[in-house]
Chains A and B, each alone.
Chain A
Amino acid sequence: MTESENKNDLKPPITEVGWLGWIRKNLFGDWFSGLLTFACLYLIWKIGFPALQWAVLDSHWSGTADDCRGASGACWSFVRHNYRFILFGFYPYEEQWRPALCIAIFVGMLFISKNPIRWSRKLLYGWLVVFVVIAVVMRGGLAGLSRIDNNVWGGLTLTLLLAVVGITLAYPLGILLALGRQSRMPAIKMLCVAYIELIRGVPLISLLFMASVMLPLFLPEGLVPDKLLRAQIAIVLFAAAYIAEVVRGGLQAIPRGQYDAAQAIGLSDVHRTRLIILPQALKIVIPPTVSIFISTLKDTSLVVIIALFDLLHTAKATLSNPDWLGFSTEAYVFVALIYFLFCFSMARYSVRLESILSPEKSGSV
């Protein structure tokens, strides 16, 4: 009896539980930790607070550039006036519902394909249909839509297009390269190794230069593709080398026994690769593939240098709009947020996917 009373009496000290205990444990564990906490608080007060003040408290959300110039905060009104150009570039103003619709369809499809339970052949066909629909809606010339050439495509639409088409085309090429690198045929193996290492050893910008200034020299005059297509080719060739290395990782993770077993039941090399090895290897590499997609999405911003109007370039172009001079910070922050939204959510998704696809691995981490 006295024992249980004692238990009731002796509650843990208030400094060990609840929010106070949490603060003590996580912010002031020892003197060094405490010191760091104060340093961080100072940092937040010195940098975080002024940033908040600039972005939210003192910001302007409407009005003209002149209204903004008087104020000390951010001028989000700049974004409100220019977001159409930043998102869609030179696409004719009245027709901008078309790229908007395409982005909506694309993002919608992403949400549908998010859950591995829905992954099926049907979904793959669904994506093919979506690609065709997007191509038709963007380009027009069909079903009463006016024809709009790709030299006016721009902004977010172009960024997503370059990244998605880039990865989609680079994937099969990357798989072939990875298989070639694992091949027992020395000539093919060496060609693939040379290609992969060459591409991975040079910056993307040199490939873009190659595509924009060198490719026209290497093709007969009539056959030179337009600038957008040339940039797209460079991105595909670049991404393929990185995908090849990721897929190689997956191929190497397949236990030797799988190869032996496939051979034992009499499968040919081709069948063994297609039916036994690749399906397992590709499943392993889905999360790192998402990472490659993220870096490709970021890398598309380099097309600025060869004067294509992607999301970054349209934002940069608005800065020279004479009515809105001097709002570079707002423009770049806005665009950075868009990139961040896409990249960060996909990065988180890739981490989650990893734990869904290989539950045995996530247990140990």
Chain B
Amino acid sequence: MNQATDNRRATPRIRGWASNRQLLYQFLVIAAVTGFAYYLFSNAQANLNRQSIATGFGFLSQEAGFDIGETVVEYSAGDTYRRALIAGACNTLKVSFIGIILSVTIGTLVGMARISGNWLVSTLASAYVESLRNVPLLLQLFFLYALATDVFPHPREALSPITGVFLTNRGLYFGIPAMAPAYKFAGIAFLITLAALMPLRYWARRYRDNTGKILPINAISALLCIGVPLIVWILGGAPREMDVPELRGFNFRGGASISPEFGALLLGLVLYTSAFVAEVVRSGIESVNKGQTEAAVSLGLKRPHVLNLVVLPQAMRVIVPPLTNQMLNLTKNSSLAVGIGYPDFVSTANTTINQTGQAIEGVGLILALYLFFSLVTSFIMNWYNKRIALVER
């Protein structure tokens, strides 16, 4: 691996290669790194031979033989290790995706609360941020998990704070609307509305640029996004039947449920990350010069417009890079799932390593997957960042 990349780097005519002494330094460093890598490699080979562990990814096609508590994709113990790892990766994606959406939303609200003029609101928001970000995430996860499994009662004595919602030590159970065709149509209507909104918003922006008149396009969008599916749902007969969980035997049946592992992990990740997001949002908004707000107000813009058209576009440029970092942190932190038994990628890879002894391949896969996530996220966010940066000047 090293040699291939080094050869490519060795192209002459780059400025740094000009001086002989620098050439020597670089040669020495590369030699040292290559030598060290070779040393490790030969040790590994000797050790693997001695312990008669086969190298390579052949083990992926063997039967995994362990169960995974909850999966997005279909999986059973009879499937291969490859399937198990894919199931783990999907679980990681699931918790990261939901976690990112929730923590950005909550973090933005808390960040705005911190700079609120209301003393009680800003104090509570500060307390939220400081208490959550100064305690290790793993501790919070253990705490939440212990809360979910030790403190919450057995399904038979389930806590029911709201009708149809049950808190038990087996997880959170709640009712969902029973499946009816109307919901499917409403969903399709929602997607169509979203697609139709894009040209509408584009037109609204053109209209604003040409005439200087601002249409309440955000309010209209929100109204349409909720209104159209709602109308379709009503036309579809407005089915209101709920699939409510019921206690049968030792546990609940029906409805939807969140396992204590997933619930604790998601809640912990969201609480912890939202505290950091709040700080990012706060410093972003505070970075916009007060004069900008005052100038916008004196131009006669209304308060929401001041925020939407003047403050936020400038704040976003400060906010986006550290926000990307927080999203990546959440994804990486989701690996702490292994501590409370949520079967994420690290957890399934760890089981695989323990069963097969393929430590190098297993850890290599973990590194590769997270690097892939990091690269994809930074790629998307860089693209977005460039787009909003172009608006400037």
CB pair B135 A304 closer than 8 Å: no
Query: In the bound complex, how far is the Cα of B137 from the Cα of A313, in angstroms?
Result: 14
CB pair A332 B119 closer than 8 Å: no
Query: In the bound complex, how far is the Cα of B363 from the Cα of A326, in angstroms?
Result: 36
**Would A340 and B22 be within 8 Å (CB), given that A29-B117, A202-B332 are in contact?**
no
Q: In the complex, which residues of chain A have a beta carbon less than 8 angstroms from the beta carbon of B363?
A: 206, 209-210, 213-214
B interface, size bucket: 35 or more
CB pair A187 B29 closer than 8 Å: yes
Could you jot down 19 A-B contacts, CB within 8 Å? A36-B116, A40-B118, A41-B120, A186-B16, A186-B26, A188-B25, A189-B16, A198-B371, A201-B375, A202-B366, A213-B353, A217-B44, A218-B47, A220-B43, A328-B142, A328-B143, A336-B139, A339-B134, A339-B135
Provide the B8-40 mask, 1 if CB < 8 A to any CB of A, else 0: 011000111100001001100110010000001
Within 8 A of A (CB), among B81-132: 116-121, 124, 130-131
B6 within 8 A of A: yes
Chain A min CB distance to B62 (Å): 19
A33 within 8 A of B: yes
Chain B min CB distance to A126 (Å): 28
CB pair A187 B147 closer than 8 Å: no
Across the interface, A186 reaches (CB within 8 A) one of B14, B48, B333, namely B14
A117 within 8 A of B: no
CB pair B139 A185 closer than 8 Å: no
**Would A43 and B124 be within 8 Å (CB), given that A205-B335, A301-B139, A312-B136 are in contact?**
yes
A interface, size bucket: 35 or more
B193 within 8 A of A: no
Query: In the bound complex, how far is the Cα of B279 from the Cα of A347, in angstroms?
Result: 13
Provide the A323-351 mask, 1 if CB < 8 A to any CB of B, else 0: 00010110011011001100110010000
B150 within 8 A of A: yes
Query: In the bound complex, how far is the Cα of B333 from the Cα of A365, in angstroms?
Result: 32
Chain A min CB distance to B13 (Å): 11
**Would A218 and B43 be within 8 Å (CB), given that A184-B16, A203-B346, A339-B136 are in contact?**
yes
CB pair B151 A219 closer than 8 Å: no
How many contacting A-B pairs (Cβ < 8 A)?
A: 174
CB pair A332 B336 closer than 8 Å: no
Within 8 A of B (CB), among A1-51: 26-27, 29, 33, 36-37, 40-41, 43-44
A354 within 8 A of B: no
Within 8 A of B (CB), among A183-223: 183-191, 198, 200-206, 209-210, 213-214, 216-221
Q: In the complex, which residues of chain A have a beta carbon less than 8 angstroms from the beta carbon of B360?
A: 214, 217
Query: In the bound complex, how far is the Cα of B123 from the Cα of A43, in angstroms?
Result: 13
Pairs of residues from A and B, 9 with the lowest C-beta to C-beta distance, nearest first: A328-B146, A343-B134, A26-B119, A201-B374, A203-B332, A301-B136, A187-B26, A298-B136, A332-B143
Apart from A217-B48, A328-B146, 19 more pairs, CB < 8 Å: A37-B118, A37-B121, A40-B118, A40-B124, A187-B26, A188-B25, A189-B16, A201-B375, A205-B335, A210-B363, A213-B359, A220-B43, A298-B137, A299-B136, A305-B339, A332-B146, A339-B134, A340-B135, A344-B134
Q: In the complex, which residues of chain B have a beta carbon less than 8 angstroms from the beta carbon of A185?
A: 16-17, 22, 25-26
Query: In the bound complex, how far is the Cα of B363 from the Cα of A333, in angstroms?
Result: 33
Query: In the bound complex, how far is the Cα of B134 from the Cα of A301, in angstroms?
Result: 13
- Report which A residues bind B (CB closer than 8 A): 26-27, 29, 33, 36-37, 40-41, 43-44, 183-191, 198, 200-206, 209-210, 213-214, 216-221, 294, 298-299, 301-302, 304-305, 312, 316, 319, 326, 328-329, 332-333, 335-336, 339-340, 343-344, 347, 365
| Chain A, interface SS category | helix
> A180: nearest residue on chain B (CB-CB)?
B29
- Report which B residues bind A (CB closer than 8 A): 5-6, 9-10, 14-17, 22, 25-26, 29-30, 33, 40, 43-44, 46-48, 116-121, 124, 130-131, 134-140, 142-143, 146-147, 150-151, 286, 328, 332-333, 335-336, 338-339, 346, 350, 353, 359-360, 362-363, 366-367, 370-371, 374-375
| Chain B, interface SS category | helix
Q: In the complex, which residues of chain A have a beta carbon less than 8 angstroms from the beta carbon of B335?
A: 203, 205-206
Across the interface, A203 reaches (CB within 8 A) one of B135, B143, B333, namely B333
> B18: nearest residue on chain A (CB-CB)?
A184
CB pair A336 B135 closer than 8 Å: yes
**Would A203 and B26 be within 8 Å (CB), given that A217-B359, A316-B142, A339-B134 are in contact?**
no
**Would A312 and B138 be within 8 Å (CB), given that A186-B17, A328-B146, A336-B143 are in contact?**
yes
Q: In the complex, which residues of chain B have a beta carbon less than 8 angstroms from the beta carbon of A29?
A: 117-118
CB pair B336 A205 closer than 8 Å: yes
Chain B min CB distance to A84 (Å): 20
> A189: nearest residue on chain B (CB-CB)?
B16
**Would A26 and B117 be within 8 Å (CB), given that A304-B339, A328-B150, A335-B139 are in contact?**
yes
CB pair A187 B370 closer than 8 Å: no
Q: In the complex, which residues of chain A have a beta carbon less than 8 angstroms from the beta carbon of B136?
A: 298-299, 301, 312, 339
Query: In the bound complex, how far is the Cα of B335 from the Cα of A302, in angstroms?
Result: 10
Q: In the complex, which residues of chain A have a beta carbon less than 8 angstroms from the beta carbon of B374?
A: 200-202
> A345: nearest residue on chain B (CB-CB)?
B134
Report which residue of A336, A343, A365 has the largest number of chain B beta carbons within 10 angstroms of its beta carbon: A336
